Amino acid sequence: MVEARDLKAAAWGWPVQWPAQALFRRLFEESFKYFLVSALALAVDFGLLAFLASVLKINYLIAAAVGFLAGLVINYLLSVTLVFQERRLRSRQLQFLFFLGIGLLGLVLTELSMALLVGGLGLGYAIAKVGAAGVSFTFNYVARRLLLFTGAGARA
């Protein structure tokens, strides 16, 4: 039962830790780390997209796919070492395959977003990539967190 003194302490910012607070703090810290890792992966992704599309004159959809996949590998390596502490799968190979599968679904969302924003709305690929990255980031984090990196017990 929650006592009145606990509510007063929380209202004044005193260090009362309820289980939900600890979970929220951990998820916030984890999602912030994932954001930083994803920002680095996005920098590689976008750098390759810009180089391939602008310098090498490769089609923007192909360039977006190459950049995305390079970013995915960086994201995986940093996510498993710096971001997520819990694992559902013991096998790193199986974990990477699922991570890749989720990333490929994110790639489909990226490609659809890029095609819609560039081909449909006439935006430049650089502006379109910002919107596509937001869609993909949200999908990838939620899917990976729920399917791969929870404390539901290691399997396989």
* pLDDT per 10-residue tile (average), the chain, 156 residues: 51 62 82 92 91 95 89 92 87 91 91 93 91 89 90 59
21-27 contact pairs (CB < 8 A, 24+): none
> In this structure, are residues 49 and 63 in contact, taking their beta carbons and an 8 Å threshold?
yes
Q: Sort 111 into a burial class: Cβ within 10 Å, 0-12 / 13-18 / 19+.
A: middle
Q: What per-residue confidence (pLDDT) applies to 3?
A: 53
Q: What per-residue confidence (pLDDT) applies to 78?
A: 95
Who contacts 23 (Cβ-Cβ below 8 Å, separation ≥6)? none
pTM: 0.68
**Strand partners for 89:** 155
Q: What per-residue confidence (pLDDT) applies to 15?
A: 57
The tokens for 55 are 């310098």
Q: What per-residue confidence (pLDDT) applies to 37?
A: 95
